[in-house]
A and B are shown apart, each in its own frame.
Chain A
């Protein structure tokens, strides 16, 4: 079984400030890691994913995340946020094995609010 914990339910920041959204996971098998973003009244959109290789992953809209296997973490960062980054962010994992069929286990979500 897998689980994902997003350590902050809400993160308020000012425009142009850096931000980090924290994600920890638990799994007995190898996993793939994802960050999705949900803008108000919309579906989820993939920001970035880690499958293998370099532990620093770059995604869309200037976001990046670092996979830390020893700490079982996959924190999302952006050096300078914009008002348009206001959204809910979800960390998710899937079993890296062939029978996972892409099923995702999600964290509880972090609402990022960017203030002017």
Chain B
């Protein structure tokens, strides 16, 4: 079972470029999330989705956009990349049966903006 799959694993962007981080899950989970991880800061929620067609902002949404056209996919779009977006990005999913259900994480995408 693949779980949560993120692509690419690594990427270097130039300032002002744009890109899409891909995330797909094969567990038929309703809830999906994007977090960013910065050293010594833990993980911060960027955006989340509770089902196809429904997305909402998290704690640090500026500079990012998301869409959820299917249950499986939850891509994260970076427009006009900035050095402050250098980070490790994690996608996660959860069955959504209750707030205490476990979130399953992908392997992460390490992004560097130069």
Interface 1/0 per residue, B81-102 and A, CB below 8 Å: 0000000001010101011111
Instruction: Give chain A nearest CB distance to B56 CB in angstroms.
Output: 8
B1-35 CB contact bits vs A (8 Å, 1 = yes)?
00010000000000000000000000000010101
CB neighbours of B80 from chain A (8 A): none
- Residues in A with CB closer than 8 Å to B99 are 32, 94-98, 100-102
Q: A90-B43, A103-B33, A107-B42 are in contact. Are A44 and B105 (CB under 8 A)?
A: yes
Q: In the complex, which of the residues A32, A41, A42, A45 contacts B100, with contact meaning CB atoms closer than 8 Å?
A: A32
Is B48 on the interface with A (CB-CB < 8 A)?
A: yes
Considering only residues 23-81 of chain A, those with a C-beta below 8 Å from chain B are: 32, 36, 41-46, 49, 51
Q: Which residues of B contact A96 (CB under 8 A)?
A: 99-100
Taking A101-B31, A101-B96, A102-B94 as contacts, is the C-beta distance between A46 and B102 under 8 angstroms? yes
CB distance from B30 to the nearest CB of A (A): 9
Contact of B48 among A45, A101, A108 (CB under 8 A): A101
In the bound complex, do residue A49 and residue B102 qualify as a contact, i.e. CB atoms below 8 Å apart? yes
Tell whether B58 is near chain A: CB-to-CB under 8 Å.
yes
Q: Does A103 contact B58, Cβ atoms closer than 8 Å? A: yes
Question: Which residues of chain A are near B107, meaning CB under 8 Å?
Answer: 41-43
The reply to whether A90 and B42 contact each other, CB–CB distance below 8 Å, is: yes
Kindly supply a per-residue 1/0 record for chain A positions 89-116, scoring 1 wherever the CB is within 8 Å of any chain B CB and 0 otherwise: 0100011111011111111110000000
Cβ 8 A contact of A102, one of B35, B103, B105: B103
- Enumerate chain A interface residues (CB-CB to B < 8 A): 4, 6, 9, 32, 36, 41-46, 49, 51, 90, 94-98, 100-109
Of all A-B residue pairs in the complex, the 8 with the closest CB atoms, nearest first, are A43-B105, A106-B42, A51-B100, A44-B105, A32-B100, A106-B43, A100-B99, A102-B94
- Extra pairs beyond A44-B105, A101-B96, A108-B41 (14, CB < 8 Å): A6-B42, A36-B105, A41-B108, A43-B105, A43-B106, A44-B43, A44-B103, A49-B102, A102-B94, A103-B58, A106-B43, A107-B42, A108-B40, A109-B42
